[in-house]
Structure 1
Amino acid sequence: MQKVAIFQESRFLPLIRPALRQHGLLIAVTGLYALIAFSLTRIHAPVMESGMGWVLVWNFLSYVPGMIYFMLLWRFLHMRFVVRPCDQMAWFRTDIRATVTDPQRIVTGVIGFVLVVTIMISFGLLKKLIPILQPFSWDEAFAAIDNSVHFGLDPWRVLHGVIGYSWIITLVTGAYNYWMFLLYFVLLLTCFSTTDPWTRIRYLIAFVFCWGVGGNLVATLFSSAGPVYYERLGFGDYYAPLMQALHEHATSQPITVLEPQDALWEYYAGPVGLNGISAFPSMHVASTVLMTLYAWQFSRLAGRIMVGFSVVILLGSVLLAWHYAVDGYAGIVIAFLSWWGAGTLMRLFPRWTPPRTLAM
Structure 2
Amino acid sequence: MTLQSTDVSCDGSQIAAARKQRFSQLLGKHRILLGLLLSYLAAASIIGIVLSEPMDTLRPEIVLWMIGALAPVFLISMVVWRFGNMVLNVRPDRPITWLVADLRDCMIQDHERIFGGLIAFASIIVFAATFTFVKDCIPLLNPFSWDPAFAELDRVMHGGSDPYVLLDPLFGNPLMTKLADGAYSLWFALIYFFAFTACMDKEDPQRRNTFLYAFFLCWMVGGSLLATIFSSVGPVYYDAFGFGDDFIPQTEALREIGQRIHLTALELQATLLDGYQNDGDLKGISAMPSMHLALAWLIAFQAFQYRKIFGWMMVVFAVIIQLSSVHLGWHYAIDGYVGLIVAIACWYAAKWLAKVQQRMDHTAQG
Q: How does 1:131-170 map to 2 (within 5 A)?
A: 131-170=139-178
Judge which range, 27-36 or 268-277, deviates more. 268-277
Give the counterpart letter for 2:323 in structure 1. Answer: L
Judge which range, 48-57 or 250-259, deviates more. 48-57
How much does 1:87 deviate?
Answer: 4.1
Judge which range, 206-215 or 14-23, deviates more. 14-23
Q: How does 1:1-360 map to 2 (within 5 A)?
A: 15-47=22-54, 49-50=56-57, 58=65, 61-69=68-76, 71-73=78-80, 75-76=82-83, 79=86, 83=90, 85-100=92-107, 101-272=109-280, 274-347=282-355, 350-352=358-360
How much does 1:258 deviate?
Answer: 0.9
Equivalent residue pairs, number: 350
Structure 1 unmatched ranges of 5 or more: 1-5, 356-360
In structure 2, relative to structure 1, the CA distance for the partners of 1:335 and 1:354 (3 Å cut) is farther
In structure 2, relative to structure 1, the CA distance for the partners of 1:89 and 1:293 (3 Å cut) is closer
Q: Is the 8 A contact 1:53 1:120 kept in 2?
A: no
Judge which range, 218-227 or 290-299, deviates more. 290-299
How much does 1:183 deviate?
Answer: 0.9
How much does 1:332 deviate?
Answer: 0.3
How much does 1:352 deviate?
Answer: 3.6
Give the counterpart letter for 1:308 in structure 2. Answer: V
Give the counterpart letter for 1:30 in structure 2. Answer: L
State, as a whole percentage, how many aligned pairs show the same letter: 36
Distance 1:98 1:10 in 2: 26
Q: Is the 8 A contact 2:170 2:176 kept in 1?
A: no
Distance 1:203 1:220 in 2: 24
In structure 2, relative to structure 1, the CA distance for the partners of 1:171 and 1:296 (3 Å cut) is same
Distance 1:140 1:55 in 2: 36
Distance 1:58 1:66 in 2: 13
In structure 2, relative to structure 1, the CA distance for the partners of 1:65 and 1:77 (3 Å cut) is same
Q: Is the 8 A contact 1:34 1:122 kept in 2?
A: yes
Deviation per CA, 1:154-200, whole angstroms, max 9, x where unpaired?
A: 10001012332210110110110111121112111111111210221
Distance 1:92 1:41 in 2: 47
The alignment partner of 1:50 has SS state of helix
Q: Is the 8 A contact 1:15 1:104 kept in 2?
A: no
Deviation per CA, 1:69-120, whole angstroms, max 9, x where unpaired?
A: 3543554566578655444443233222112121111111111122212321
Give the counterpart letter for 2:230 in structure 1. Answer: F
Q: Is the 8 A contact 1:52 1:274 kept in 2?
A: no
In structure 2, relative to structure 1, the CA distance for the partners of 1:113 and 1:352 (3 Å cut) is farther
Provide the alpha-carbon RMSD of the alignment. Answer: 2.9
Tell me the TM-score normalized by structure 2: 0.86
In structure 2, relative to structure 1, the CA distance for the partners of 1:197 and 1:38 (3 Å cut) is same
Distance 1:105 1:10 in 2: 21
Judge which range, 191-200 or 10-19, deviates more. 10-19
Give the counterpart letter for 1:239 in structure 2. Answer: F
The alignment partner of 2:264 has SS state of coil
Distance 1:275 1:53 in 2: 20
In structure 2, relative to structure 1, the CA distance for the partners of 1:178 and 1:77 (3 Å cut) is closer
The alignment partner of 1:257 has SS state of helix
Judge which range, 71-80 or 167-176, deviates more. 71-80
Distance 1:274 1:43 in 2: 22
Q: Which has the larger radius of gyration?
A: 2
Structure 2 unmatched ranges of 5 or more: 1-12
